[in-house]
Amino acid sequence: MTSLGNETDRVRIMRVADALFNERGVHAVGMDTIRDISGVPLKRIYAIFASKDELMHEVLRQRSIDARAAIIRYVDSHASTPVDSILAVFDYLYNSFSQPEFRGCFFINTFGEMGSVSDRIADIIRVHKGAVTDYFSELVAAAGLPADVADQLSILMNGALATAGIFATPETAHQAQAIARLLIDASGGPDAGR
């Protein structure tokens, strides 16, 4: 197994594939390009990942784990009330949208490319989006808001992700946050109107 520093071939391949798929899209990146940039021989890549679909699945799975953990860490360190926790998700998005590598939602973009041709890819994207909605459900319950607010916040978040990718502006997150605040107030939670 070759490695650069402490990075295994598997980790290096996934890191390079993640960056390339995000930057160029899935269809535009071939395994030869991943080989060239990662420095891992093609035979070794296929020994670790049987196909590009398998690699894409693992990249999505890992990105989902990392993204959800990052949101939770951010919210836990920036919010003091349940309503603040909901609103902090949109502050997290603002920070994400401000990163130079942001190209829109990786999951939405990949679903647009692969969702109709790979049930496996579509399924993992749906699982990710469902897990984010479940997180909103926890926050909504803690805030004493009606359960359907979680679905509405999830739709708002996905709209912000898509819009920020199209217009390349982080301000979309603050606009979505303002709408979330209106939604919270209209739902009559314990902190409504504060």
CATH of the domain at 25: 1.10.10
Q: What residues are paired with 4 via a beta bridge?
A: 7
Say yes or no to pLDDT of 6 above 80.
no
What would the mean pLDDT of 28-53 be, rounded to a whole number?
Answer: 97
For residue 44, being part of any structural domain is answered with yes
For residue 194, being part of any structural domain is answered with no
Q: What's the CATH number where 79 sits?
A: 1.10.357.10
Say yes or no to pLDDT of 122 above 80.
yes
Q: What is the pLDDT of residue 4?
A: 46
pTM reported for the whole predicted model = 0.90
Same-domain pairing of 110 and 145: yes
For residue 161, being part of any structural domain is answered with yes
Same-domain pairing of 25 and 66: no
Distance CA 170, CA 125 (A): 23
Percent of the chain with pLDDT over 90: 91
Q: What is the pLDDT of residues 67-118, one digit of tens each?
A: 999 999 999 999 999 999 999 999 999 999 999 999 999 999 999 999 888 9
CB 147 within 8 A of CB 106: no
Quote the domain boundaries for residue 131. 60-187
Phi, psi at 51, each rounded to 5°: -155, 170
Is residue 90 classed as helix, strand or coil in its secondary structure? helix
Six-digit token string for 134? 């479940």
Same-domain pairing of 65 and 6: no
Could you give the angle at which helices 119-142 and 148-167 cross, rounded to 10 degrees? 120
CB 168 within 8 A of CB 188: no
Same-domain pairing of 14 and 103: no
